[in-house]
Amino acid sequence: MPFGLHTKDTPGKGRILIVDDEESIRKALRLTLKKSGYDVVEADDGGTGIEIIGSDDNPLMVDVIICDLRMPKINGLEAIAFFRQQYPSVPVIVLTGYPDIQLATGLLKQGVVDYIVKPADKDTLIAAVEKAMEYRTALVQHH
């Protein structure tokens, strides 16, 4: 199957991967995003997120990754470094309960498109995802 063809059957606006170890947060994000027309995939830690996106020979087409920073096993920073390296065209939004300006600045320099502090309100989240989607579209068209 040619690369990129199977993205056509993604319903709605695009597919978002949520990587967060707290189920309540994933659920809240999922409900908000689904209401706004996005398809959502969930992972409960960085390792699972990496497995999901890279499973089989056919990596899951994800349009945006929303990733928590503090998680067991593989933390957000490691997962984000991997995503940025392996999937540079997929924008990453960082979601954290522990704002750290230095860290945020470093992440934004690494190419993270947005840095959201929990609990993220709906409008902030949707705005960040829309911005990330625009960023991805621009990148894809650019190449």
* pLDDT tens readout for residues 25-52: 999 999 999 999 999 999 999 889 988 8
Domain that holds residue 81: 5-142
CATH of the domain at 65: 3.40.50.2300
Give the pLDDT of residue 30. Answer: 96
Question: What is the radius of gyration, based on Cα positions, of the chain?
Answer: 14
Give the pLDDT of residue 65. Answer: 95
User: If pLDDT is split at 50, 70 and 90, which confidence band does 98 have?
Assistant: confident
In the predicted model, what is the mean pLDDT of the chain? 85
Q: Is the dihedral of CA 26, 80, 93, 137 positive or negative?
A: negative
pTM of the shown model = 0.85
Query: Cis (ω within 30 of 0) for the bond into 2?
Result: no
Q: Is the dihedral of CA 82, 88, 15, 135 positive or negative?
A: positive
φ, ψ for residue 104, nearest 5 deg: -60, -45
Domain total in the chain: 1
Residues in the chain: 143
Q: Is the dihedral of CA 80, 94, 98, 100 positive or negative?
A: positive
Q: Could you count the other beta carbons within 10 Å of the beta carbon of residue 30?
A: 16
